[in-house]
Structure 1
Amino acid sequence: MTDRETAERVDDLFRIADRLRVPGHRHTVEAFLGELGELRIGLSRLHRDLTGADPARTFTAKRPSVAAFPAGAIAGTRAVVQHRSRPRARLAARA
């Protein structure tokens, strides 16, 4: 692989990373995970082509627990749900 091909692949991966959007009311979790998976696949292929070996990974026997996720992610989801329910609460209070 030439330096130019490597640079083009890195540019493609940067474009994918720039497109990543955090899940919200306009961007679903499934779309985010798909884009993240696409980025991971591209990075692992680039690593394999540059080093000749697959990237080292640590595998666990069980699914990650809720404790594995940062507290801000769970609290952020709760905040989004509360924010979405505010207009409904105001309408209900008027009636």
Structure 2
Amino acid sequence: MTSQDIEKRLLGLCQLADRYRQPGPRRTTETCMAEFGEIRDSARRLYRELTGSWPRHDGDGEAPPVRRPKLPIPSAMIRDQARRRANAQRA
């Protein structure tokens, strides 16, 4: 990995961190957790590529981190999709 590649990856990681915002009226907790997970995963992958090993935590083994599953779709979105389908079938 060249120094330019490292610079680009670090810049991208910094930009992700700069765009990160806390939950609020227009941002759900799920969205914030997903963005935080993306920042964390990107930082861990960069560390792995630079050092050749995954960063360790207290009590961790040498195993790489597992991929986190995608967050479930909130129930309000599922109800809305069902309502739209029902309205479309009635029409």
Q: Which residue of 1 aligns with 2:75?
A: none
TM-score (norm 2): 0.62
SS where residue 22 of structure 2 aligns?
Answer: coil
Cα RMSD between the aligned structures?
1.4
Q: Runs of at least 4 residues of structure 1 off by over 6 A?
A: none
Cα offset, 1:9, TM superposition:
0.1
Cα offset, 1:40, TM superposition:
0.5
Point out the structure with the larger helix share.
Answer: 1
Change in CA separation of 1:37 and 1:3 when aligned onto 2, cut-off 3 Å: same
TM-score (norm 1): 0.60
Q: Which residue of 2 aligns with 1:40?
A: 40
The question of 1:26 aligning with 2:42 is answered: no
Q: Percent identity?
A: 40
Q: How does 1:1-16 map onto structure 2 within 5 Å?
A: 1-16=1-16
Aligned residue-pair number: 60
Bigger radius of gyration, 1 or 2?
1
